[in-house]
Amino acid sequence: MRLSEAQIHQYREAGFLVVSRLFDTETALQMIQHYMKRRAEGPKSGDSGGTTDHPEDPNHQYPRMINMHNWDGLTGEWAMQATMLELVEQLIDDKPVLRQTMLYFKPPGGRGQALHQDEQYITIDPLIGVWIALDKSDRSVGQMVVVPGSHKRGLLQVEAADTAISFTAVQSVMPAGVEEFYVDMEPGDALFFDGKTIHGSYMNESNDRWRRSFICHYIGENAEDFDPPQGKHVSHLRH
> Which one of 30-38, 74-82, 175-183, 193-201 is the stretch in contact with ligand AKG (CB under 6 A)?
193-201
The amino acid that residue 138 corresponds to is D
Cα 217 from Cα 75, distance rounded (Å): 13
Figure out which of the listed residues 62, 105, 131, 214 binds ligand AKG, where binding follows CB under 6 A: 131
Decide the pairing of beta strands 181-183 and 96-104.
unpaired
Figure out which of the listed residues 16, 62, 78, 104 binds ligand AKG, where binding follows CB under 6 A: 104
Figure out which of the listed residues 22, 215, 219, 234 binds ligand AKG, where binding follows CB under 6 A: 215
Query: In this structure, what are the phi and psi dihedrals at residue 204, rounded to the nearest 5 degrees?
Result: -80, 105
Position 112 contacts ligand AKG (CB under 6 A): yes
CB-based contact 96:220 (threshold 8 Å): yes
Cα 15 from Cα 75, distance rounded (Å): 26
Axis crossing angle, helix 5-14 with helix 82-92, rounded to the nearest 10:
60
Position 59 contacts ligand AKG (CB under 6 A): no
- CB closer to ligand AKG out of 49 and 112: 112
Kindly state the smallest distance separating residue 29's Cβ from ligand AKG, in Å. Answer: 19
Kindly state the smallest distance separating residue 64's Cβ from ligand AKG, in Å. Answer: 8
The SS3 assignment for 99 reads strand
Residues near ligand AKG, by CB under 6 A? 104, 112-113, 118, 129, 131, 144, 199-201, 213, 215
